[in-house]
Structure 1
Amino acid sequence: MLIEQRTYDINPGTPMADFLREYSTRGLPAQKRILGGFLGYFVTEFGTQNQVNHFWAFADLEERRRRRAELAADPEWQDCIGVVRPMIIRWDNKIMYPTEFSPIRSLPVATDEPLTAFTFGAES
């Protein structure tokens, strides 16, 4: 198993709530349907601002390659890219392998827990 970390730097002139709304309604459904292995989407509180990180699990690099190619050909995903790509000024991808003592070492990884503690942009 491997984990892909994708980090996007969002244009400081784009409200993070706008990016997250567009991505979550346009892109995430297609990605979850095609890529599977969705582990989470995170925003920064400290450190580099206007940044999001998302994590995806794959069995191996070939599965990742095949699923990413399928995603690239998907019209729903292309619609999302047309809207969110101009909001992104830089991105970085990392492929990581779990250590033998990592609690996440194999698929499937249960990831569809409801978000109850925090919603970005909500008043505290």
Structure 2
Amino acid sequence: MAIYELRTYSVVVGKMGEVTELYKSLGWPALAKHPQKLVGYFTGDIGAINEIIHLWKFDDDADRRSFWNGVFGDDQFMAFAKQLRPLLKHQENKLMLAAPWGPHP
């Protein structure tokens, strides 16, 4: 059964432009080297300003753990994370299962 991981990063007010540039220049190039598990990245709008939200889809928990171990073992990604962390206020992760009805990504 697929597992979905919803990650929400709250960005320090006034730093979204800097965060966006970091993702474009360092973050995404590092992540793109790893197996494609990303459903999508989103930025907040009304009620969710200063947030970056991403949704990931994994085959199961072992797939999820293997993916993140690979990412966190990647020096290029960790160099990006080192620059990103001071620009974040808070991180929230949620693991979810697809409902037994309706469409699924």
Q: How high is the TM-score relative to the length of structure 2? A: 0.89
Paired residues of 1:10 and 1:87 also in contact (CA < 8 A):
yes
- The residue identity in structure 2 corresponding to 1:76 is Q
Tell me the residue number matched to 2:8.
7
Higher relative contact order (CA 8 A, sep 6+): 2
Tell me the residue number matched to 1:110.
none
Choose between structure 1 and 2: higher strand proportion: 2
CA distance in 2, matches of 1:7, 1:89: 11
Shift of 1:77: 0.3
Give unmatched runs, 5+ long, in structure 1: 106-124
Structure 1 residues 1-124: aligned runs within 5 Å = 1-14=2-15, 16-104=16-104
Cα RMSD (Å) of the superposition?
Answer: 1.4
Aligned residues: 104
Going from structure 1 to structure 2, the CA distance change for 1:56 and 1:32 (only over 3 Å counts) comes to farther
Shift of 1:96: 0.9
Going from structure 1 to structure 2, the CA distance change for 1:4 and 1:88 (only over 3 Å counts) comes to same
Paired residues of 1:35 and 1:68 also in contact (CA < 8 A):
no
Paired residues of 1:32 and 1:38 also in contact (CA < 8 A):
no
Shift of 1:35: 4.5
Q: How high is the TM-score relative to the length of structure 1? A: 0.77
Shift of 1:32: 3.0
CA distance in 1, matches of 2:97, 2:73: 27
Calculate percent identity across the aligned residue pairs: 27
Larger CA Rg, structure 1 vs 2: 1
CA distance in 2, matches of 1:60, 1:43: 26
